[in-house]
Amino acid sequence: MRPVIPFTRVILAFTAIVLASPAPARAVLIRHDRPDTNYKALAKTYSGPLGNVAGAMGTLIADRWVLTAAHVATNISPFSKSFWIGSEHVPIADVYLYPGWGRQQDAAGHAVTDSKIADLALIRLSRPVQGVRPARLHRKANERGMKIVVIGNGLTGTGGTGPNNEDGVMRAATNVIDEAEDRTISFSFSAPGDSGVTDLEGIGGPGDSGGPALAIIGGTTEILGVSSINHTGAANGSSQYGSTEVYARVSTSLAWIDQTLAGRSQPMVWPDTVHSVAKGWPDSPGGRLARRWLDAYNSRDSLALVAFEREFRADSLLAKKPAEARAASWRNLYGTWGRLEPSQWVDTPGSPFKVLVHAGGPDQWMRFEFTLEADPPHKLTRMITNTPEDPGPPG
């Protein structure tokens, strides 16, 4: 069994802050000997029902239902519960995880894959999506040997380089399913000259977990699987020539999918409660720290920033980078982010303290997460930020 670590799209890393990084599951990687424009052109045929959620992908399978990966669904932000398709941001009403998903976890608390538990989730939208033809579910257990299309807009690159570029452009590639097992289908990334390599061969790369494996059957686009993990195997690195893609299999999970679409499943319970900053900050270690950091950052005052670092930053981190250097980094970041206006917060026991802020410089919403020591004085040990976010209504 292998750990599956959710990932999100993130802003560039800066020395003063640790940012969440992409982790396994894929955007489209292509052959090094084929024009990139061919992969972009292929995507135009298949991209209609695709959208983004939690920095990853999902596929519209009914006017208000999205099929994605369970490890994507569990990474949905408490602030931005929406599905982005085209120019629409459609609010999410409920999320349904495949039964048993997430019960097994590794030492870091990440869900561990189980060959008998599909990495699948269904998202019910608060309103129908208009003007988009949903993908149809594949209902026959005949996937082995079928030619498929994988599609996404996350990190890209070639089979030789691996994922090394993110431009947000949708690409699609072809492949052939090698294996169809209980809850998964899988296929390898063949290099030019390999037996069975397709003309626009490719697989996914970081940024497209939850994306579909599609086929045109009887003139209709059908979804055969959902992007889950990449097994490097003998390849030089993730998503390179010789690696194997594993997708959650749709045909053997139809009983649960149909039951959920019919309203006979229980949605997951959201662990976080969202509060409005306008109603006050919590009198908790996370609340006090986040408020002090925002005040110091927005002041652009070196003395205030140094004082924050010395009072709240873990001593082990200050030994690696002193408070004065960290304060200088924050002042530099102000030139990129501008003033940060807090809007909402989440303070869930055992989790990082989360704050939704609006950055005036790029005019965008961002999520900051502050991880504190478990014991007093609860100093700051890690800080990450994710974007894009949407300002949803407080819970």
| Separation between Cα atoms, residue 117 and residue 102, nearest integer Å | 9
69 and 204: one domain?
A: yes
- State residue 24's pLDDT score: 37
Q: Which domain holds residue 323?
A: 275-386
| Separation between Cα atoms, residue 43 and residue 62, nearest integer Å | 20
With b for 16 or more beta-carbon neighbours within 10 A and e for fewer, the 252-279 pattern comes to bbeebbeebbeeebeebeeeeebbebee
Q: Per residue in 44-83, pLDDT tens? A: 999 999 999 988 899 999 999 999 999 999 989 999 889 9
CATH number of the CATH domain containing 308: 3.10.450
Residue where a domain terminates, one of 213, 238, 261: 261
41 and 176: one domain?
A: yes
Q: Is residue 8 part of a domain?
A: no
Q: Is residue 96 part of a domain?
A: yes
Q: Is residue 153 part of a domain?
A: yes
Residue 303 has pLDDT above 90, yes or no: yes
| Separation between Cα atoms, residue 59 and residue 67, nearest integer Å | 5
229 and 342: one domain?
A: no
Q: Is residue 102 part of a domain?
A: yes
222 and 95: one domain?
A: yes
Only one residue has tokens 């609340």, namely 287
pTM, two decimal places: 0.83
**Mean pLDDT of all residues in 292-305:** 98
Q: Per residue in 178-208, pLDDT tens? A: 999 999 999 999 999 999 999 999 998 877 7
285 and 257: one domain?
A: no
| Separation between Cα atoms, residue 166 and residue 353, nearest integer Å | 29
Q: Per residue in 146-177, pLDDT tens? A: 999 999 988 899 999 998 887 889 999 999 99
Tell whether omega for the bond before 3 is within 30 degrees of 0, i.e. cis. no
- State residue 161's pLDDT score: 92
Q: Mapping DSSP to helix (H, G, I), strand (E, B) and coil, where does residue 56 land? A: strand
Q: Is residue 145 part of a domain?
A: yes
Q: Is residue 394 part of a domain?
A: no
Q: Exposure of 151 by Cβ count < 10 A (0-12 exposed, 13-18 middle, 19+ buried)?
A: buried
Residue where a domain terminates, one of 218, 233, 261: 261
245 and 279: one domain?
A: no
Decide the pairing of beta strands 56-62 and 50-53. antiparallel
64 and 132: one domain?
A: yes
298 and 217: one domain?
A: no
Residue where a domain terminates, one of 261, 291, 322: 261
97 and 135: one domain?
A: yes
User: Could you tell me which of 236, 252, 152, 142 has the C-alpha nearest to residue 189?
Assistant: 236
242 and 313: one domain?
A: no
Domain total of the chain: 2
38 and 73: one domain?
A: yes
